[in-house]
Structures are given as C-alpha cells and as structure tokens.
Amino acid sequence: MAFRLALVGAGRMGAAHARALASARAVEIACVVEPSDAAAARVDVPRATLDALPDIDGALVCVPTRFHLEVVTQLAALGLPVLCEKPCGLTSEEARAIAALGARLQVAYWRRFVPALRALRERMRAGDLGEVVFVSSAQLDELPPPRGFRDPHSSGGIVIDMGVHEFDQLRWLTGREIGAVTGVAGAVGWDEPVEGDPELVQLALAIDGGIAAAVTLARRHPPGEVCRVEVVGLDGAERFDFVAPPDGDETIAAALRAQAEDFALERGEGATVADAVAAMEAAERAKAVLGLP
C-alpha cells in the first residue's frame, strides 16, 4: 500500500510535487490543504484542512517559507511525519525551533536524489579526483518568480530562496562545513528592482580543509533554467549541467519522486533539519556580507 501524504500548499512548488508524485509507486497524494480554490484545483484529490485531515501517513509541506514554522508545528502536534520544502523556516532560528519539535522530519533538498550528483559524490568519496581543492555551483533561473514571492519577508530573498540549495549541495558533496562567505550582488535593471532581492549574486566561500568554493545565483537566464556543478581535485575534475533545457523539468520531477519515496520508506538519504540549519546559517552570513535584509 502506498504511503498517503497530505499536500499542504499547492502553489508553484506544491503543484510540481503533485505532478511528480502522480507516477510514484510508494507514495500518493491523498488530500490537499490549500486556501486558494484555483491552486487546490491543480491537484485532483479531495480537499482538507489542518483541523480535519483524513487518514494519512504523513505530510508534504509546500506553503510559503514564512509559514513553515507554524504549519510544521501544527503537523508535529498531530504526530505526523513531515517532508518540508526547503529552507525549513525563514531564518536559522526558525529552523532550530522546528528541529526542537522532535518530529520525524525531512527537508526537501531534492538534489541529493539526482543520479548524476550522487555519482559525482561517490567519485569524490572514493578519491577518484584526488584531494578536492575547488567546488563551484550555479543556479540560473529562466525567469524571476512573482514579485510578491521575491519579497525577502516572504521567501528570504535570492540568497535564502535559491542559495540554500547551493550551500546544502556544497556540504553534501564535500562532507565538510562552510566557513567564511563573501561576495557581490548585481542590480541589473531588467525589471523594476525588488528591494532586498538582487537579480544576480556571486559568492566566494571557504570550506573546511582548505577547499575554495564559488556560488552563482541568477534570477534570469534567457536560455532556460540551468543548475551546474564543477569539482576540481588534484587528480581530476568534473563539470556538468545536471538541470538544463530541454529535459530539466523531468530531472527535477524524478528527483522529487525519489525523495518522497526515500521519506516514505525511511531510508534516511535525505536532508535533516540539522542540514537545513547549516545551509541557512551560511545563507545568513552571505546576506550580512551583501547587506541584504
């Protein structure tokens, strides 16, 4: 029998999860909790509320970031396992408060389930590239999300909304912690600027053990959405786009399915709340350096 999930939040990311899980074997969306009629209609399952959930096995939280703490707290009080969209709170303090709930909780850093990245991580662990000295990652979105979403008070802005994926990936690939962070933000005037959310960010990071790292974030990339990684070791190097047109959406959907099944089957290969706290702390250091709210 499939693991029955309540989808809490059917916006852009919630709808993406629902599409991906439609073909999953071990997991199914049993109901949707969503205040918007239009958003709820995207998911062809019964509608519910947090106060009156049907018989389910867990919850997938895809509400706006500013509501993560509130919603996860409600679900934890019901004794439900939770798969929460990143970043798992708007601040590291909120992420630590979620961790303190003591619930079974996994954070949706889906890149951990991309086969190409998993293979790269295994090569690094096996020493195939020799001692790693440099890691680079880039996340280039085709178009910016709606202005309301970009508001730092809603999503945390570009460094939290996008950057936490890169920080988690750096920690997961290298097995080491992120130290000092510095960088610059670009304010390219494609559209009316969103205060606190520059369209371009370039960061340089120090990783324990003498590894240098670079992170590039862009709200607009006309050729389409691209996620890129590069690892340089003393004996070899790898560089590739693991999300890119024309099949980037399929790559993400497959990773979302694998992640949900890992959560349902308790395999333990996903990100923990402690991982989310570490990624958020790196993001907060970056925001401080860039002077972002």
Residues 215/86/243/289 CA torsion (nearest 10 deg): -10
How far is residue 175 CA from its own chain's centroid? 18
Mean pLDDT of 40-52: 96
pLDDT tens-digit readout, 207-260: 999 999 999 999 999 999 999 999 999 999 999 999 999 999 999 999 999 999
Range(s) of the domain holding residue 41: 3-110
In this structure, is residue 91 part of a structural domain?
Answer: yes
Residue 139: inside a domain: yes
Chain segment 2-23, per-residue pLDDT in tens:
999 999 999 999 999 999 999 9
Q: Is 23 exposed, middle or buried (0-12, 13-18, 19+ CB in 10 A)?
A: exposed
CATH of the domain at 218: 3.30.360.10
Evaluate whether residue 257 is within a structural domain.
Answer: no
Identify whether 258 is part of a domain: no
pTM above 0.85, yes or no: yes
